[in-house]
A and B are shown apart, each in its own frame.
Chain A
Amino acid sequence: MLIAYIPRNGTKYESYITRNATDAATGEVASQATSENNGTWKKGRFR
């Protein structure tokens, strides 16, 4: 699952789920949006 939002006055998404990716060769680290698959689904309406 992915979830993202569009910041105020923005036109592109920003993800709520991120990870740090590391370059195996250089050790450089960067933040990347990603998904998660460890949740559970609940049917219903949420406000």
Chain B
Amino acid sequence: MVLPSGFDRTATHTVGVFGIRDLREFVLNIDEADAVFHFVPDGSKPQQTPEVIKTQTCRKCHDNMRFDTHTGSGRISVEMCVLCHNPKSFDPNGESLDMGVMTHRIHMNSSLPSVVAGAKFGYRGKDYSKILYSANKRDCAVCHETTAGAAQADFFETKATRAACGSCHDNVSFATGENHANLPQVSDSQCATCHTVQGELEFDLSIRGAHTVATKSRELPGTTFEILDVNDGAPGRNPLSLSA
């Protein structure tokens, strides 16, 4: 790789390498590994590289870090993912491949307002709108763990952006203000004015207040169930109706 003439020698650069060892002919697996190296061409100290979520957090569910066409490619760390999955990468259908947009949308899938309204969602012609996500989609902390050690772990609360928020709330037009209280936004600089980290109420416009998980609410009284009987529960039968 030859860098283009005039490249910024003061910018933080990252090289990523990846490799595999395919042992399937010996009835073994494909071993995968990757590594990144950060540097600044002029010799100065690299700036903080994107680190919103640690790979170990993804591994809570994606234990082998194998994703669709990347399966068995050797690219198995978030540090590697974000090198390509950046704001300038797009699917031909217009879907952003930026990590902070794509990941939100894949995990929202059938709950995306656009999908609820009947639109298709996916990449490379594949339908991603029916992917199952077992956690509560309001529970940001499932992925945005603040205890995993990511340097920018708090960005999801402190650095609201049109791209990140609009990735899930895709019925919002920041250009016109539609579904955004008729408030167009031409930059991300004003987001935090209304969308503070935490407001005065449990359910409000703050980042936390907009994503309060109902089952974790302090204010909602909740519902208490008591199972009193199970009908039709004999062997070979289906207990389809409950009395409570």
**A residues neighboring B (CB under 8 Å):** 1-8, 11-18, 21-26, 28-36, 39, 47
- Which residues does chain B contribute within 8 Å of A36, judged by CB atoms? 1
B50 touches A (CB below 8 Å): yes
- Among the 9-residue stretches B4-12, B109-117, B170-178, B203-211, the one with 4 or more Cβ atoms under 8 Å from chain A is B4-12
Chain A nearest CB from B103 CB (Å) reads 13
A4 to B50, CA, bound (A): 12
8 A-B pairs besides A29-B92, A31-B88, A47-B43 with CB distance below 8 A are A2-B18, A2-B84, A6-B47, A6-B49, A11-B48, A28-B94, A32-B90, A33-B86
Secondary structure class of chain B's binding surface, majority of residues: loop
A23 to B15, CA, bound (A): 29
The reply to whether B89 and A15 form a contact with Cβ atoms under 8 Å apart is yes
The reply to whether A25 and B125 form a contact with Cβ atoms under 8 Å apart is yes
The reply to whether B13 and A3 form a contact with Cβ atoms under 8 Å apart is yes
The reply to whether B94 and A30 form a contact with Cβ atoms under 8 Å apart is yes
Chain B nearest CB from A17 CB (Å) reads 7
The reply to whether B86 and A13 form a contact with Cβ atoms under 8 Å apart is yes
Chain A nearest CB from B175 CB (Å) reads 21
Instruction: Given the known inter-chain contacts A1-B17, A3-B15, A7-B11, please indicate yes or no for A33 contacting B89, CB distance below 8 A.
Output: yes
